[in-house]
Amino acid sequence: MQFKISRRNFIKMAGAATTGIMLSQLADKATGHASSAPKGKCYYKGQDIPLLYEADICVLGGGASGVAAAVSAGKRGKKAVIVEKGITLGGLQTMGNVIPCMTTWAPDSDTSFVTDLKDRLEKYGIDYDDHNEKSEVGIWTNPEALSLIYDEMCLAANVEVLYNTIFVDVVKKGSTITHVIAQTIDGLKAIKAKTFIDCSGDAILARTAGVPSEHGFEKTGKNQPMSFRFEMGGIDLEKVYQYVTVELGEDFCPTKPPHYEFAEARHRTRQYVLEKFMVDGINSGELTEEDAEYMQAFAIVGKPGTISMNCPELPLEYSASDPLSYSRGVMAGRQMIHRISQYFIKHMPGFENAYLAKEASMLGARESWRIRGKYYLVEDDYHNQSRFKDAVARTAWFIDAHGEKVSEKLPKGAYYEIPYRSLITNEIPNLIVAGRCISASFILQASMRIQLTCMSIGEAAGIAAAWGLENNIAANDIEWDKIPASQRSYVSK
């Protein structure tokens, strides 16, 4: 991976450290964190579970929303901990290979976490901005840069990250959650906190605690299709651009390499010029119908000659909310990856020397479970451009429920807002839910799930959790608009 460092940024960095020195400082700080395990136990199902960590705020899941939540709580002086089953932060962004971040299309939607992330990407020489107002991409990035930057953000905000730690259960006193029980490298441990934020994507903490939830489209019972993303290296991207955009005349990507994408989706109303390329593969027996259903590829900034494939899209029979079906989907998806990558190497100009570089280490679930909270966002909120006095974010990304519904974009400058009430529940006073599993219908979630919006929702969750503790107000009683405007990440206008 190449992180280009401009002269300006080199000077900015040189005063403090070179990248290498910064890395070693991070490692030292991380080691220093390790010795602070509290003494104590938590009685759970007939046994005493050792207390591993005691925090003000415990965030389950270190994806885009979870990092934003923990970092914003940490920045407000709260002791925050992230429980994460992987060994990198970013969730779908990093382990799921889901890059880039799509634009919200909403003017002035960046909250301070997003601005901070952009600054840090720039510092690492990531050319995140394609400077094209027609571009669907908000931030071009790459997973390795994000993993490092998120570690750095957590360390700077004194956030403890428990990696390779899997949520198992909650312990409650009445309706209040007191502990999370987690499987760690050293067996079952308890994590105690005053407020919990569920950023698991699957609402697993909320559901376990008794919050009502739903999954899939109410009309079909099916989740959105999952994708098993992968990276390919050794690509001559300029040659691909010449073939797809110049020779074939594909015009949907308004930008050129290094900010470049190409795609084909047979279930969309638009006819993509690459449909013939994929159908030829079906006819020759090299691809299946399912392989050719949806194909999308994004250049990865900082990794020249590499692309991130937003495919294969798994057939709908593989469910993001059924463990057996999900696992079979992994095997089916892996076979699809090998067929598609071989087909590209054989037939796509620019891929002659390409190779399969990396499979995602997390299956790409667009939608699994969503909570039913105090406010339930629905499709009308998108079309009516709903505003809320307790709004925590604005967005206008179109409804993109693969295979079910793809909406028109809202008019330029239009957007809807997401209320704090869609992050909290009637059942659990000290719980906030953030990211793609908030209280929203299947169709509306297909708009609000994009990464920048998940980050802004997570940021608000962290701020609310910290403010609630300072003011002795339960998370599910907080009225976001009562938090002083200067302390809010987003103020509805």
Ligand X SMILES: Cc1cc2nc3c(=O)[nH]c(=O)nc-3n(C[C@H](O)[C@H](O)[C@H](O)COP(=O)(O)OP(=O)(O)OC[C@H]3O[C@@H](n4cnc5c(N)ncnc54)[C@H](O)[C@@H]3O)c2cc1C
Residues that bind ligand X in the complex, under the rule CB under 6 A: 61-66, 83-86, 91-93, 96, 98, 101-102, 166-167, 199-202, 204, 227, 229, 310, 364-366, 435-436, 449-451, 454
Beta carbon of residue 438, minimum distance to ligand X (angstroms, whole number): 9
CB closer to ligand X, 285 vs 323: 323
Beta carbon of residue 442, minimum distance to ligand X (angstroms, whole number): 14
Beta carbon of residue 134, minimum distance to ligand X (angstroms, whole number): 16
CB closer to ligand X, 2 vs 164: 164
CB closer to ligand X, 91 vs 143: 91
Beta carbon of residue 24, minimum distance to ligand X (angstroms, whole number): 26
Exposed / middle / buried, residue 238 (Cβ in 10 Å: 0-12, 13-18, 19+): middle
Beta carbon of residue 64, minimum distance to ligand X (angstroms, whole number): 4
CB closer to ligand X, 240 vs 297: 297
CB closer to ligand X, 457 vs 475: 457
CB closer to ligand X, 63 vs 125: 63
Instruction: Name residue 265's beta-bridge partners.
Output: 294
CB closer to ligand X, 92 vs 240: 92
Instruction: Name residue 438's beta-bridge partners.
Output: none
CB closer to ligand X, 214 vs 280: 214
CB closer to ligand X, 22 vs 168: 168
CB closer to ligand X, 68 vs 274: 68
Beta carbon of residue 61, minimum distance to ligand X (angstroms, whole number): 3
Other beta carbons within 10 angstroms of residue 34's beta carbon come to 8
Beta carbon of residue 267, minimum distance to ligand X (angstroms, whole number): 15
Beta carbon of residue 368, minimum distance to ligand X (angstroms, whole number): 9
Beta carbon of residue 347, minimum distance to ligand X (angstroms, whole number): 24
CB closer to ligand X, 28 vs 62: 62
- C-alpha distances out from residue 106 to 94, 128, 197, Å: 25, 18, 26
User: CA-to-CA distance for 103 and 135, rounded, in angstroms?
Assistant: 8
User: CA-to-CA distance for 455 and 68, rounded, in angstroms?
Assistant: 6
Beta carbon of residue 88, minimum distance to ligand X (angstroms, whole number): 8
Beta carbon of residue 300, minimum distance to ligand X (angstroms, whole number): 12
- C-alpha distances out from residue 26 to 32, 126, 318, 327, 359, Å: 10, 20, 40, 36, 27
Mutual angle of helices 451-470 and 64-75, in 10-degree steps:
30
